[in-house]
Amino acid sequence: MRLFYKLLEDEEDDYVPYVPIKQRRLEKLHKYATQRRMTHDLRDRSSNDEGSEEDEAVQAGPRANISLLDQTVQQRKQIPEKTEEEKRLEEERRIEEAQARHKALVSVQESAHGLIYTDPIKTSWSPPKCILQQGEEFHQAIRERYHILVEGEDPVPPIRYFEDMKLPSVILDYLKDKKILKPSPIQIQGLPVALTGRDMIGIAFTGSGKTLTFSLPLVLFALEAEVRLPLVQGEGPIGMILCPSRELARQTYDGLNAMSEALSKSGKYPELRSLLCIGGIDMRDQQDVLYRGFHMVVATPGRLMDMLNKKKFNLDNCKYLCMDEADRMIDMGFEDDVRTIMSFFKSQRQTLLFSATMPKKIQEFALSALVKPMVVNVGRAGAANLDVIQEVEYVKQEARMVYLLECLQKTPPPVLIFAENKNDVDDIHEYLLLKGVEAVAIHGSKTQEEREYAINSFKSYKKDVLVATDVASKGLDFPEIKHVINFDMPKEIEDYVHRIGRTGRSGKTGIATTFINQQCSEQIRLDLKHLLREAKQKIPPFLAAMEDPMEKYGGQLLSGGCSFCGGLGHRINDCPKLEQQRRQQMNTMMSRSRGDGGGF
Ligand code: AMP
């Protein structure tokens, strides 16, 4: 009972009278308003009387009398506002990082084992003493003279003469025979880099001689391996060249064979064998090479994966990998295939990436896996060949076919006509045949025989005009093309650079005529305008009159336009190609989540 009273007393001490909820709310509101007023008063005082002790007390520590919201607002005010330029650069960096994240060029095994190679492959070649003695200052002067830009640790010296490159005399004779007398800029720097075993990113415009830069070292490495220990049945390859298209692969394969033949025909050197591993051909035709073992393989990714999966050969001894037109390879969706191919390598290899255009996305893709790479850049990446006179003409959509005939009169043959879609190629081809023009056509839906017939008859000057979709623009070497006509403007400026690069090769001047009209996107017209300006070409009035959003960035080309696609008329934030890629990824993800992704 006593205890009961005690409890009652305690309760009475703590007694709080009941307050209706409405009133409690009003009181709370009032308390909050008073607090805010105090905060404002203090802030006003602090701005009138900066540095006072009272002010210090408010600024420091968890301030009970200032709401968190107000504290945050106040803190934000203290951080200086970023300029528009800073914000834009930050945004660009963020996009670039996101792009680079998934693109490492390492094999699945290497990334799983955490294998990182730190030293380049060692070869028996080194620059001659007389070149080394010239010193880095002299070497830099040579680079500047030939407009060669290099990046990377311990740069390898450039060499201006084939005679100084310690090449076998048979190769020197072979080059003379082909009228290749002095190395081109990419060869001056690229050959010594490749011969020393260094990884490399080679950026050079089409027709600059890049094929020789990666083919010749491969032939020499293969020769050295064969001399040391001849390949026996089922062995090889020593090195590999990956190409995005069958035609390009065949052309490179022919080049390797020509050099191998010159070596073996001299009687001084053994036979070297190459395998052409591309779709659309019967691999049984090369059964003999497969059986006897081969030193070199030139491949397109699809057929190569197929052969490797079927264990027709392996890459256990492959020490040299070159990806030609690396940017195309990624753009064409071969990225995962390339990574799968990497998983077949058993040891470190020398990796070379070559391309006419090399936007940052590829450099990031490559730099993650290359060992102490040297970037050799001849002319700005993505820049058009300066030996091409670029004429851009406004031609209405329906007037193009008739105007095409007129345009063909500009130069003697051979002439290359590009159109974006297959139907247009077929229509143009048919129209030209009707008009009595000796024309052939090539596009993705033609059979392998039709494609080869078209290319061979055009290359051997039996046909005057080749009408093609962009497949034919990818690195194919047609000597002496006088005129490239773009029946339409490609959707991406890189394709334009590749297309017009078919003419003006090996130092000869060519003409490129491009039909343009309202069908072309504003973005591509702007990119074209900037490209023409950079190549010091005439800018037609309808392009000159275009309002230029790049002017908001100070009217100048900030570090070469878009770092994703290389277009000069926009920045990565406005890149239509990146936008399209994102949309595609989004669609794929959505169709996967809907469960209609196909599958097995
Ligand atoms: P690319 O596709 O860049 O390898 O261009 C190759 C074309 O240029 C081929 O027809 C070669 O025969 C030719 N070529 C390569 N190197 C040289 C050189 N140093 N001098 C003259 N022509 C060359």
Residue in 171, 191, 505, 508 to alter for ligand 1 test, most ligand atoms within 8 A of Cβ? 505
Among 50-59, 115-124, 451-460, top mean pLDDT goes to: 451-460
| Nearest-atom index, ligand 1, CA of 212 | 4
Q: Which atom of ligand 1 is nearest to the CA of 205?
A: 3
Higher-pLDDT residue of 418 and 145 is: 418
b/e sequence 391-430, b meaning 16+ C-beta within 10 Å = bbeebeeeebbebbeebbeebebbbbbbbbebebbbbbbe
Q: Could you say which DSSP state residue 34 is in?
A: H
Let me know whether 417 and 297 are in one domain: no
Determine the distance from the C-alpha atom of residue 240 to the mean position of all C-alpha atoms in its chain, rounded to a whole number: 20
> Ligand 1 pocket, 187 CB below 6 A?
yes
- The reply to whether ligand 1 has any atom less than 6 angstroms from the CB of 506 is yes
* Sequence letter at residue 452: E
Q: Looking at ligand 1, which atom is closest to the CA of residue 184?
A: 19
Question: Which pLDDT band, with edges at 50, 70 and 90, does 474 fall under?
Answer: low
Among protein residues, the one with the nearest Cα to ligand 1's atom 16 is 209
Tokens of 521: 């996107």
Rounded distance from Cα 474 to ligand 1 centre (Å) = 15
Q: What average pLDDT does the structure give for the chain?
A: 81
Last residue of a domain, one of 520, 537, 571: 520
Domain that holds residue 449: 390-520
Do 259 and 306 share a structural domain? Answer: yes
In a domain, 120, yes or no: yes
Q: Determine whether the shortest distance from the Cβ of 505 to ligand 1 is under 6 A.
A: yes
What is the reported pTM?
0.61
Q: Considering the domain boundaries, does residue 572 fall inside one?
A: no
Whether 585 is covered by a domain: the verdict is no
Q: What is the mean pLDDT of residues 188-213?
A: 90
The pLDDT, as a whole number, for residue 121 is: 84
Q: Which of 71-75, 321-325, 458-462 has the lowest mean pLDDT?
A: 71-75
Question: Cα separation of 485 and 515, whole Å?
Answer: 8
DSSP symbol at 353: E
Same domain as 48, residue 20: yes
| Residue 582 scores a pLDDT above 70 | no
Q: 32 and 124 in one domain?
A: no
Q: What per-residue confidence (pLDDT) applies to 233?
A: 87
Report the DSSP beta bridge partners of residue 240.
Answer: 297, 321
Is residue 600 scored above 80 in pLDDT?
no
pLDDT band at 595 (very low <50, low <70, confident <90, very high): very low
Specify the pLDDT at position 52: 43
581 contacts 587 by C-beta, under 8 angstroms: no
Q: How confident is the model at residue 598 (pLDDT cuts 50, 70, 90)?
A: very low
Same domain, 339 and 401: no
Q: The domain spanning residue 459 has which CATH number?
A: 3.40.50.300
pLDDT on residue 593: 47
Contact 184 CB / ligand 1 (< 6 Å): yes
Q: Is pLDDT of 221 > 90? A: yes
Distance 55 CA to ligand 1 centre (A): 75
pLDDT at residue 174 is higher than 60: yes
Counting from 1 in the atom list of ligand 1, the atom nearest the Cα of 251 is 2
The total number of structural domains in the chain stands at 3
In a domain, 409, yes or no: yes
Cα-to-centroid distance, 138 and ligand 1 (Å): 26
User: Is the predicted pLDDT of residue 159 greater than 70, yes or no?
Assistant: yes
Distance (angstroms) between ligand 1 centre and the Cα of 307 equals: 31
pLDDT of residue 60: 47
CA 309 from chain centre, in angstroms, equals 27
Residue 171 falls inside a structural domain: yes
Q: Indicate if ligand 1 lies below 6 Å from the C-beta of 300.
A: no
Q: In what helix (H) or strand (E) does residue 390 lie, and over which residues does it extend? A: strand 388-394
pLDDT band of 68, cuts 50, 70, 90: confident
- The reply to whether ligand 1 has any atom less than 6 angstroms from the CB of 477 is yes
Integer CA distances (angstroms), 230 to 182, 311, 350, 439, in order = 32, 22, 21, 47
pLDDT in tens, 18-59: 777 777 777 777 777 666 656 555 555 555 544 444 444 455
Q: Is 183 in the pocket of ligand 1 (CB under 6 A)?
A: yes
Q: Are strands 483-486 and 510-516 parallel, antiparallel or unpaired?
A: parallel
Taking 60 as the threshold, does the pLDDT of residue 555 lie above it?
Answer: no
Can you tell me which residue has the tokens 């190569």?
Answer: 304
Amino acid code (one letter) for 137 = E
Q: Under a CB-based contact definition with an 8 Å cutoff, are residues 210 and 190 in contact?
A: yes
The confidence band for 585, taking pLDDT boundaries of 50, 70 and 90, is low
Tell whether 266 and 341 lie within a shared domain: yes
Determine whether the shortest distance from the Cβ of 46 to ligand 1 is under 6 A: no
The whole-number pLDDT of residue 458 equals 93
Mean pLDDT is lowest, of 96-105, 261-270, 512-521, for 96-105
163 has pLDDT over 90: yes
- Within a domain: 86: no
Query: Do both 422 and 323 map to the same domain?
Result: no
CB of 324 within 8 A of CB of 357?
no
Ligand 1 lined by 185 (C-beta under 6 Å): no
Residues 414 and 371 in one domain: no
Q: What is the per-residue pLDDT for 307?
A: 95
For 237-274, what is each residue's pLDDT tens digit?
Answer: 999 999 998 988 999 999 999 999 999 999 999 999 99
- Mean pLDDT over 121-141 rounds to 94
Q: Is 209 in the pocket of ligand 1 (CB under 6 A)?
A: yes
The closest residue, in CA terms, to atom 5 on ligand 1 is 207
Confidence of residue 10 (pLDDT cuts 50, 70, 90): very low
Residue 234 carries which DSSP code? Answer: T
Q: Alpha carbon of 195 to those of 118, 211, 236, 553: distances in Å?
A: 18, 14, 20, 42
211 CB within 6 A, ligand 1: yes
Asked, for residue 580, whether it belongs to a domain, the answer is no
Q: Do 258 and 112 lie in a common domain? A: yes
For residue 101, being part of any structural domain is answered with no
The Å distance, Cα 211 to ligand 1 centre, comes to 7
Residue 93 reports pLDDT greater than 90: no
Q: Give me the pLDDT at residue 2, please.
A: 46
Predicted confidence at residue 177, as pLDDT, reads 96
Ligand 1 probe mutation, 167, 211, 214, 298, most atoms within 8 A of CB? 211
Q: Is 210 in the pocket of ligand 1 (CB under 6 A)?
A: yes
What CA–CA distance (Å, rounded) separates 515 from 513? Answer: 7
The continuous run of DSSP H or E covering 257 comes out as helix 246-265
